[in-house]
Structure 1
């Protein structure tokens, strides 16, 4: 029996994504003066594909059907940014852009935590019997 709906699991995945993105952005900011450091980011599309694949199961009705395989799918969560200009020391971290991404990620995180809090409050109301 499933205790929670898929919505809560999706919100957990969103929090995981936000935490990973926070770590990557913080790492970029910490290495702003490191020679030859290449900025990294997390792709929501790639992260979404990973999460969907982890929950996807094929129903084989015959032994002649092919096995469901995700080996050729996206497996990396982080990627190195290549569309930015390099500084004189080979570093491509733009501190202003990273700070903006950090603020954006914080807003996203706050929105997701508010939503999951609302879900748990709804469950609490149901458990109490609507009082």
Structure 2
């Protein structure tokens, strides 16, 4: 059993895992750029992080981690409760024109997404390092007292 620095640390690790999955999917899309009828895929990892956040921080007494919308007038909408963000999903990207062979991979889109994903991965890595450095400095300072 490992030592948990903080709840946010576990969430950042899950974020890194999700970014690694996205990297694999984008790489797979690029690798299949010449495969007839291949449809480019992506992952909606934000929903996976929502699920992990509920798990880490708890779902509250009611088992529901949602914030209820205030309804100050009976004519106000009550909000959409049908969306279930409990699972990450891999989906086919829409909006990309298929070539004559039915392939929907666009190299420009994939390289752009690859760059964005790498930037987010690096940001999470940096945040994890800084989070660890804060706790390390607290431990070092407290040993001097």
- 2:47 corresponds to: 46
What's the secondary structure of 1:27's corresponding residue?
helix
TM-score, scaled to structure 2: 0.71
- 2:103 corresponds to: 91
The CA deviation string for residues 66-106 of structure 1, in whole angstroms up to 9 with x for no partner, is x88xxx83534311112211011000000111001101111
Shift of residue 128, structure 1, vs aligned partner: 1.5
| Mapped partners of 1:76, 1:112: distance in 2 | 19
The 1:82–1:3 alpha-carbon spacing in structure 2 relative to 1, beyond 3 Å, is closer
Structure 1: gaps (5+ residues): 61-66
What's the secondary structure of 1:34's corresponding residue?
coil
Shift of residue 16, structure 1, vs aligned partner: 1.2
- 2:122 corresponds to which of 85, 110, 120: 110
The equivalences for 1:1-131 within 5 A come to: 3-55=4-56, 56-57=58-59, 59=61, 73-74=84-85, 75-129=87-141
* Number of residue pairs matched by the alignment: 121
| Mapped partners of 1:82, 1:99: distance in 2 | 17
TM-score, scaled to structure 1: 0.78
| Mapped partners of 1:112, 1:76: distance in 2 | 19
Mapped contact 2:29–2:105 kept (Cα < 8 A): yes
Question: Cα RMSD (Å) of the superposition?
Answer: 2.4
Bigger Cα displacement from structure 2, 105-114 vs 119-128: 119-128
| Mapped partners of 1:9, 1:88: distance in 2 | 45
Query: Structure 1 segments of 4 or more deviating over 6 A?
Result: none
Bigger Cα displacement from structure 2, 42-51 vs 95-104: 42-51
Shift of residue 53, structure 1, vs aligned partner: 4.7
